Structure formats: structure tokens, C-alpha cells
Chain A
């Protein structure tokens, strides 16, 4: 996206937020369309369960709607604000579950614990967990925000409340750590998974 377009989109978002703050359902509807998919995915990557993700997504948008008038367009970006609400919803969710340890997302839940992950993603969860689980929550968050949620460091900085430089630093070091400690398993997973899919496709075509 070139900068000019990005700027005009930001301006548009800002206008929409202002309109929505005046209780324009049309403006809020458009904001919703702009952000729903992203927020849903953000929550999904951290819960790995469709119903839970939908529930938390509802909570996030309901909260956003209720607190919209407290949001000041001059003080931060709407997107970061929304992600923050989503992030809090996820934290609250895992905190409310009765657990000895409070995991901050699905990646901290040991396999033997009673937590349901969607079947079609179970393979990812099981295999990625050894890599992601060993990371402190805030560092894992930055990895996920950058690679899965595909956010820029500027956005990540706003969401995590850290400086852009420290986000970058954390990201680089975490990747290095992963590379030195668990690269092979992850790489193998990718290979084996593609192999499975290919085998499946071959089977089907036979």
C-alpha cells in the first residue's frame, strides 16, 4: 500500500470513528467491516477454538461500541485500541477459567490439560506449541503479531505499549532464539504437513 493511500485510509478511519461516536450506525458498521476479520483472526490465533473466538469477538466489539466515546482519535490509533480490547478479552477469558496457572493464550496450555482446540488446527497446535510455549507471553505476542497478524512494528508498538525499537529488538532476538533452539522441529512440521497434504491429494486423484 503506498503511503498516500494509507494516509487517506487512516483519515477515513478517523472520520468513521468520529461519526460512530455520534451514534452513526452506518459508520460503526463500516468500521466493523474494516476490522472484523482481522480481530477475529487475532483472537483465533490465541484461542484456536471457533466458538470461543466468536464469543470473544462479540465481547470485543460490544466493548468497543460501549467505550467508543472514551476513545480519543488524537491520542492513538483506532486499530491499536481495538486490538488492545481484543487482547484484554483473551486474557480475561483465560484468567476466568479455573486454572492453577493463568495462561495468557492457548499456546501456554499444556496438551494434557482439558482444553478443546478445533480439530482441523490441532496438528498446528500440537507441533508449534513446543516452540511457542517456551517463550514469555509478551515475546510470543510480538512474533504472532508480526508474522500471523501481519502488523507493522509501528502498530505492534501501539498495541503492546512498547517502543517500536524495543518491539523490533524483541522480535529479532526471539527469532534468533527459536532458530538456535527449535528450528528443526518447525521445519520438519512444515515438510511433513505438506507431505501429508500432497499424499492426500495423490490419493484422491487415484
Chain B
């Protein structure tokens, strides 16, 4: 702030002030120097931005395509829908004048007299009074009320509660990663993500007969939903690292690089004693068929497997949070079942309080060298405002330092808050799964139990430096909200994803070869041939950082990525690329105009593999549904 400028302004009004320059200067200087510190929080800034952009997208989706896109499904409810749209428009209407009015800043002609500073001039008071009368209109603009308005719509058409356009599901806008040139941006850095929620959520959409919202599709979560056949780790590193390069199915001229991490498998019996707190959302919104009963079943399923040395507590939240079951031993399963049975849905959600209490119980019963985890089961419809949400996130970030992990299990539909739940799990060093059926509960809580319940490495970050000699451009597929700044890779304070026992993580890069370079084709040999020509023959250099759970310092692991391309891609790569291509079709990705559902179907038909639980077979049925729905919508 230029003090001189301020002073000059003053002298123009009252030249006599010049005589008091020294004192005025001191005063202004004092005011400037004593300005409170007000650095906005970068995280908050980003969060709010995506929330706002999401609102715009929602608006865009809700105007015309509302009827056109889902014409078939809406036929029965069309009348209601039309009426509701009108109601909504008018409900917002009257509030609009408030700022429309105050936005007209006709320059006031009156010369505003300031004879005595103590005066409280009449004009502002008038204005205040007027504003007071308009107060209800302001309230209607608060973010919570926007949701409330939406909610009225969904409850106004209960028959179509499962129809996406009638609900208040919330998704963060995903901006797809772009192609970068290694010459400009040699480093690609991201945090791993073992969440799988997006897959089950997309499945729910398709099974209900509609294509998912593009922003509900997080490609990395689709890919990571499936198990891959990577080797188990050897040595001290808790996971094995695998890379493979092949041609890109949806673009002949490009290559596809797979980076696969396989976490060490540990039988549940072998994981340390566990202190588990179920935090159960029993609010009114959980009343719907399918939510609470499924939740109870899932929790019972999990309880079945707990061991005598484990400790279980249950906190429920609805209206006000409460400890439903004080900690009991894993032997006392009956007590847990009884407590679960007695849960009833009702009241509004005070999620923040619930989480706070759950963390308190978890830390009161902390197993110092054990596994401490909160399992939050909810539809995510927390009744908290934006600020409390910020506080919630901060609290969770604080608690994770104590070694308490968080698993988020999403239930239900209609008012499902996907973005919020993903971010909670992300901030709370946890994982996030969406439970839409009892089968899914089994996958996450029985087959994947040790992965869901036990973290083997924290803050896992991957950084690849691409070699411009081979790579013209590269694009990370998915992981949009996991991309990190290059310098954050070495910063151990920057949070990243956790990997659970037996979890695998797969990432794909689409690579445009550098001009004039024909990647050498490796047909029948091992990839190790490249190592003799050090420096050349490397597509890039892969660095990986992780922490052993509970430790502050990360461990660095690095290795070169070979530029040898295989014309016999492994089943891992074929299957993962098919899932990615499907994801891009669902996202209507601009980066894969040639993506084809037919090709995806063919590939998957050929790579069903062992598929002991039928996940890949189920995937195939989802592909058929995608094909049919896409054809219908064109």
C-alpha cells in the first residue's frame, strides 16, 4: 500500500492536513502494519471452487437435457417433473432482486456530510432496515438451503427417487488430465488411490437403467475395483512394482504404459489387534429401503470376523450423536448384533458431532501398536454448512496424526454425497467403498477384509520422469483429484494415499511417441535387455515414496521404466486398458474419440481369467448395458 498516494489524496481534499504529515504518516503506517494476517487456505479455495463449478454443471445438465436425456424414464412422471421445475424457478425468483437492486450503483448525488464523526447517519440505517425485511430471501441463498430446495424435489416425486435427475447426489467436477510434453513438464506426480466406490456407484446407475453422470466416473477407481495378477512383493518393500508398455487400443499411434503396485497380502488373523469404532448414520435419510438394513447386514458381516482380541464400539448419529455400544471384545458379538438390531432411522444428521465422538472413543481405546480404525457408514448427507465441513476436514486431518484410520462405506442413493465422502476418506488416511448390494459388502468386508481394515503403507506417491527422447507427450488416465505438484513428492508433510494389505493399484499413461522414434518391439524376450544400454532405452524413471504406517519419514524407491514395447500385452494390461476405455466412454472423454464399447466388450470377453467371484463376468453385463443405453441416448 502506497502511503504517499493516500496522503496525496488527503491533501487534495484538505490541503491544511499537509502540516500534520508526520503524524498522519505514523497513523496510516500503524494501520497498514497492523493489518491482520488473512492468508486464505489453499485447500479451502480449491474446494469451494469445485463446489461452485459443480453447481454450474448441475444447472447446465438440468436445463434442456433434463427431459431429452431421460425421456423414456420420465414419461410417467413428466407432469410432476414439469410442475416441480416451475416451482423451483419461482422459488428462486423472488429472492433475486436483493442484489439485483443493490447492484445498481447509481452514483449518489448527495454530498454526504460528515460534520461529526459520532453521527450515525440516517441513510445507512434506513438501508439496514430495508435489508432486514429481506432477510428470509438471503437465507434461501445459503448453501444448505439450496440443497434443501433440491431435496423438496426429490421428496416431491418419491416414485422416481432413484431417477438421477430427481435427486441431490453430489459429485465434484472432474477435469480430465491433459497431454503434457516431457520437454515442458518432465515430471508426472500423483498419489495412489485404492478407492473403488466409483465402480459400484456406476454399476448402480447402469442397473437402474441410466448412464452415470460423467463426474461420477473416476477411472482409476474403476480400474482398481478389480484384482490383477501382479507378483507378491519380495524383500522389505511392502509392495511389488510392475510396469509394462504396449500399443494403445483406442489409438494405434500411441502407447500405453501400465504402472502396477501390488500390496503384500496378509491374512486377517495376522493383522495386529484392532480397535474398531463403527460410526453409523441412522438419520432420517437412511430410512429408505436398502440403506439401514443393508448397512446392518454389512456391519454384522464384518463383526462375524472379528477376533477376541479386537475391540468394537458403535457410535450412531441422528439428531444428536450417541455412544450406542461402549467398547466390547470381539468375543461379545451378540452385544454388537443386539446394538445393530436396535438402531432405527430418524432425526436429522449431525455428522460432525458423530465423527468427533467416534474419534474420541477410538483414541480413548487406542491400541498403541495395533490397528485403530473408524468405519463410517453413511449416505454422506451430513447436515453441516461449508464452514463446519472445513472444520470437519481439519479435525480429521488432525486425528490421523494419532494413527487412527478411517474407512468410509457409502450406502444408498438419491442424496448420495460422493464428493464429500471421497474427500473425508482421503483426508482421514482411509479408503472409500460404495456398498450397493450385499455382494459388494462381502467383497469389501469379507474377501477384502484385511485390505479394508489394515494399512501396510501410507502416503504412497508416484513420480515418473519421462524421457523426451522417447516420449513426445504423455497423459495420466484418471487420478484427476490425486495429481500432485512435483515438489510435493519429496515433501513428507504432503498427504497421499494409503495402500491396504493385498490391495493393488494400477495407473495407465497414454503416451504419444516422440517424433521419428519407432519404439523397439520386444517379441519373445525378457525386458531386461535394455539395461545394458544405460541412459538410452529408458522411457522414463519411476520414483515411489511411501511411509511405513505410523512413521513420519518416507522411504524412496526408484527404478527405470523400459521403452521396450510388447506386442503381447499381459492380461493385466489388456483388462485394465479395457476398463479405462470404458471409463472414457462413460466420461465422454475428449481424449478418446476412437474409444469403442464393442472393442471393450471383445477384450473383456477374452480376459475373464479365473474370476472366482464373478466380478469380471458382472462387468461384462455392465458393458452390455452401457452399449444399450448409449445406443438409446444417441
Contact = CB atoms under 8 A, between A and B. Distances in A.
B92 interface: yes
Contacts of B252: none
Contacts of B173: 25
A122 to B, nearest CB: 10
Interface stretch (B54-62, B319-327, B571-579, B625-633): B54-62
Contact of B387 (A23, A54, A135, A172): A54
A59 interface: yes
A103 to B, nearest CB: 12
Contact of B142 (A59, A80, A127, A194): A59
Contacts of B110: 163, 166
A175 to B, nearest CB: 6
B105 A72 contact: no
Given A150-B1, A162-B108, A84 B103 contact: yes
Interface stretch (A3-11, A87-95, A108-116, A198-206): A87-95
B73 interface: no
Given A125-B36, A150-B1, A25 B9 contact: no
Nearest to B49: A32
20 contacts: A23-B60, A44-B40, A45-B35, A48-B36, A52-B387, A59-B143, A62-B146, A65-B55, A95-B132, A128-B34, A136-B120, A137-B124, A162-B112, A163-B107, A163-B110, A168-B9, A170-B112, A177-B117, A183-B26, A187-B27
A51 interface: yes
A126 to B, nearest CB: 11
Contacts of A53: 38
B38 A41 contact: yes
A183 B117 contact: no
A82 B407 CA distance: 40
A110 to B, nearest CB: 18
B131 interface: yes
A91 B138 CA distance: 11
Given A179-B24, A190-B33, A32 B9 contact: no
A54 B36 contact: no
Given A55-B387, A162-B112, A178 B55 contact: no
Interface stretch (B93-101, B295-303, B586-594): B93-101
Most buried by A among B32, B35, B146, B390: B35
Interface residues of B, number: 78
A205 B20 CA distance: 40
Contacts, number: 230
A193 B31 CA distance: 13
B38 A40 contact: yes
B13 A61 contact: no
Contacts of B49: 29, 32-33, 36
Nearest to B26: A187
B97 A70 contact: yes
Contact of A80 (B32, B105, B117): B105
B52 A193 contact: no
B338 interface: no
A94 to B, nearest CB: 11
A84 B102 CA distance: 8
A58 B143 contact: yes
Nearest 8 pairs of A and B residues by beta carbon: A55-B387, A166-B112, A70-B100, A58-B386, A44-B38, A186-B30, A40-B40, A25-B56
Interface of B: 1, 6, 9-10, 12-14, 17, 20, 23-24, 26-38, 40-41, 44-45, 48-49, 51-53, 55-57, 59-60, 92, 96-100, 102-105, 107-112, 114, 117-121, 124, 127-128, 131-132, 135, 138, 141-143, 146, 173, 385-388, 390-391
Interface in A159-189: 161-166, 168-179, 183, 186-187, 189
Interface in A127-171: 127-128, 135-139, 143, 146-148, 150, 153, 157-158, 161-166, 168-171
Contacts of A150: 1
Contact of B99 (A67, A139, A176): A67
Nearest to A78: B103
Interface residues of A, number: 87
A124 B146 contact: no
A21 to B, nearest CB: 11
A165 B121 CA distance: 17
Given A28-B53, A66-B92, A158-B105, A146 B387 contact: no
A121 B105 contact: no
Interface of A: 23-25, 28-29, 32-33, 36-37, 40-41, 44-45, 48, 50-55, 57-59, 61-63, 65-67, 70-72, 75-77, 80-81, 84-85, 88, 91-92, 95, 120-121, 124-125, 127-128, 135-139, 143, 146-148, 150, 153, 157-158, 161-166, 168-179, 183, 186-187, 189-190, 193-194
A67 B17 contact: no
Given A166-B112, A169-B13, A179-B24, 7 more contacts: A45-B35, A67-B96, A75-B104, A76-B104, A150-B1, A169-B112, A172-B17
Given A23-B60, A70-B96, A179 B20 contact: yes
Given A25-B57, A58-B143, A67-B96, A171 B27 contact: no
A99 to B, nearest CB: 14
Given A92-B135, A153-B9, A161 B105 contact: yes
B634 to A, nearest CB: 24
A114 to B, nearest CB: 18
A66 B20 CA distance: 48
B53 A58 contact: no
Contacts of B36: 44-45, 48, 121, 124-125
Contacts of A125: 36
Contacts of B41: 50, 54
B390 A51 contact: yes
Nearest to A55: B387
A59 B20 contact: no
A33 B578 CA distance: 37
A138 B127 CA distance: 12
A23 B63 CA distance: 11
A161 B14 contact: no
A61 B52 CA distance: 8
Most buried by A among B31, B49, B135: B31
Contacts of B146: 62, 66
A201 B350 CA distance: 44
A44 B39 CA distance: 9
B48 A163 contact: no
A1 to B, nearest CB: 12
B119 A136 contact: yes
A55 B14 CA distance: 41
Contacts of B51: 58
A124 B34 contact: yes
A175 B48 contact: no
B112 A163 contact: yes
A76 B103 contact: yes
A187 B117 CA distance: 21
A80 to B, nearest CB: 6
B52 A32 contact: yes
Contact of A161 (B40, B108, B119, B387): B108
